Amino acid sequence: MDEPRANFLDVSRSVLGRPWVDRLDAAGLRMATAIGQRTELSDILARIVAGRGVDLDSAERYLQPTVRELMPDPSTLAGMDALAERLAKAITDHEPVALFGDYDVDGACSCALMARFLGHFGITPQIHIPDRVFEGYGPNTAAIDKLVDGGATLLITLDCGTTSDGPIAHARERGLDVLVIDHHLSDAELPPATALVNPNRPDDISGLGYLCAAGVTFMVLVATNRLLRQLGRSSLPDLMGMIDLVALATVCDVVPLTGLNRAFVARGLEVARTGSNRGIGALALAARLSGPLNPYHLGYLIGPRINAGGRIGDAALGTRLLTLDDEQQALIIAAQLNELNSERQRIEVEAVEEAVRAAEAEIGAGEGPPVLVLASANWHPGVVGLIAARVRERFERPVFAIALAPDGGGTGSGRSMPGVDLGTVVIEAVESGLIAKGGGHAMAAGVTLRPGQLGPFRAHVNDRLAGAVGAARAASALAIDAAMTARAATPEFVREIERAGPFGSGSPQPVFVFPSHKARFAEVVGGAGHVKVSLTSGDGARLKAIAFRAATTALGDVLLSAGNDTALHLAGTLSIDHWQGREEVQLRLADAAYPQGL
């Protein structure tokens, strides 16, 4: 049995209160050596690959993931054959189709995939994206009636529908066939849909529960293309040309970048970089992106702009943008989303400040509750997920943020941490009548509460999740991949480690420590309180660094108060900053520690 891992650089408690440990235990170090010997990878790249749980036989395929090799037969998904058959029939008969999607990036990408697929066959579907405030998540009877009155005979729900028993029953009563394509956790009974594909339905044994809805949608389109080919159709859509939408949704929905998802993102980024999707290209221009698109761009710059429409504006803007082929129209909508995103950022900053104060009051001088359930009548329902995410980062525990209605009810979102399943406890709360509505997956969930349900719901999640949160927080050490110096942080080095990407949820970006470097010229930049600093090594080499949203944290305090001669161990991830044709490496700081004895 391997001995416990020692603290990296003897850091048992960083400025953020975490121990630092080597990502690799003794067995992992042996695996890294074996991988390096067989594949001739550099020592650092072999360590990074082994640190993501890759074994010797899988290393080469891990570095070159392909959709062809990693995608199973779509028919392994429960309900797939029936759903593909009904969709193929609608295409063959040229039926009027309606799409009902979620208002986030995954929903927008799923709808855009299906709309582009149907458009190839000359079918222009009605598309309905619900208003987050007035309609809420998932199908509703009023919207369904509108789609029926518009002539639809087939309704396809995307990134929603698994728990919408009543609205789907209503759709069937109105004469609609209903196809559900989703990935959210389901309750005990499935809705009365014509067919339902969801790798997280109770009877599905595909092992694909890690896919986002766009990933599931892509598999539906693969199955449908295959069936249409068998029926004699020769002109079929180029699905690989639309895989950039799957990559965007996969990154933004923060599903694990393992297995097929890695191939989706790797190949999707290649397609996205060609600019073939006018909407993604227009958003890249609006966000003033430079350099090749990467997962960070998708998750932190393009995704939030798509989400801004669903949060505080027209929820359908994102889907509309991603289906456009007209460059001028795409630029116009991207500019609208960019403005909405700026407004969203302003609203978010004010709300997060209030939420942090509420969290500090609830935690007090002690450990506080394992789950923070915060509520306010001042919060816009469109930013509650962002509030929850920011507070979760700050206090290292799951958080629900709920926008209260005048009657005392409310709508909210929860954000979790690895090892703590929010979706399951929310489904339990719905089934036991503690809340009116809810659903989600392990890392994120949404809830709707009636008056008087806030207290019981708070008690429920804290009771059910106390053990899991305690275990997750105890294991929250910062895992370090290697130590290095500022001089070694070159663009060539970053490109080498990116061979082990794409990085994201489930496949974390490598974390490097810069021991005993001096942090100089620290300053607060941007409205969100980022801290910018210059690192200097003992040999005089310099490296730009930034700590996002750190100005009011312990990390920000240390950076801003450090003198020019103060030595610190500094940990973070590396990226290449492209500016006016130049490449410069930047460190995104995650933590810092004082060298032992200082």
Is the domain of 588 the same as that of 489? yes
Give domain status of residue 204, yes or no: yes
- Domain termination site, one of 474, 495, 529: 474
Give domain status of residue 47, yes or no: no
What secondary structure letter does DSSP report for 259?
T
- Domain termination site, one of 431, 451, 474: 474
Is the domain of 503 the same as that of 460? no
Model pTM? Answer: 0.91
**Cβ-proximal residues to 190 (8 Å cutoff; 6+ apart), any chain:** 162, 196, 201
pLDDT digits (tens, 9 = 90+) for 27-70: 999 999 999 999 889 999 999 999 999 999 999 889 999 999 99
Res. 598 pLDDT band, cuts 50 70 90: very low
Give domain status of residue 426, yes or no: yes
Is the domain of 542 the same as that of 589? yes
Tell me how many domains the chain contains: 3
Look at residue 4 and tell me whether its pLDDT is greater than 90.
no
Is the domain of 138 the same as that of 275? yes
Judge contact between 394 and 359, C-beta under 8 A: yes
Nearest CA-CA partner of 484 in 539, 564, 434: 539
Q: What is the CATH number of the domain that holds 437?
A: 3.10.310.30
Give domain status of residue 422, yes or no: yes
Give domain status of residue 27, yes or no: no
Mean pLDDT, residues 131-155:
94
Which residue range forms the structural domain that includes residue 430?
367-474
Q: Percent of the chain at pLDDT above 90?
A: 88
Is the domain of 157 the same as that of 255? yes
Q: What is the CATH number of the domain that holds 577?
A: 2.40.50.460
Q: What is the CA radius of gyration of the chain?
A: 24
Judge contact between 97 and 157, C-beta under 8 A: no
Is the domain of 448 the same as that of 502? no
pLDDT digits (tens, 9 = 90+) for 286-310: 999 988 999 999 999 999 999 999 9
C-alpha dist (Å) from residue 380 to 103, 132, 346, 387, 410? 15, 10, 12, 10, 11
Is the domain of 123 the same as that of 164? yes
pLDDT digits (tens, 9 = 90+) for 59-113: 988 999 999 999 999 999 999 999 999 999 999 999 999 999 999 999 999 999 9
- Domain termination site, one of 419, 443, 474: 474
Is the domain of 444 the same as that of 581? no
Is the domain of 73 the same as that of 163? yes
What are 498's two structure tokens?
């990116």
Is the domain of 465 the same as that of 517? no
Mean pLDDT, residues 312-326:
95
Is the domain of 470 the same as that of 579? no
Is the domain of 174 the same as that of 98? yes
Give domain status of residue 49, yes or no: no
Give domain status of residue 17, yes or no: yes
Give domain status of residue 351, yes or no: no
Judge contact between 519 and 501, C-beta under 8 A: no
pLDDT digits (tens, 9 = 90+) for 178-227: 999 999 988 778 999 999 999 999 999 999 999 999 999 999 999 999 99
Q: What is the CATH number of the domain that holds 328?
A: 3.90.1640.30
pLDDT of residue 5: 75
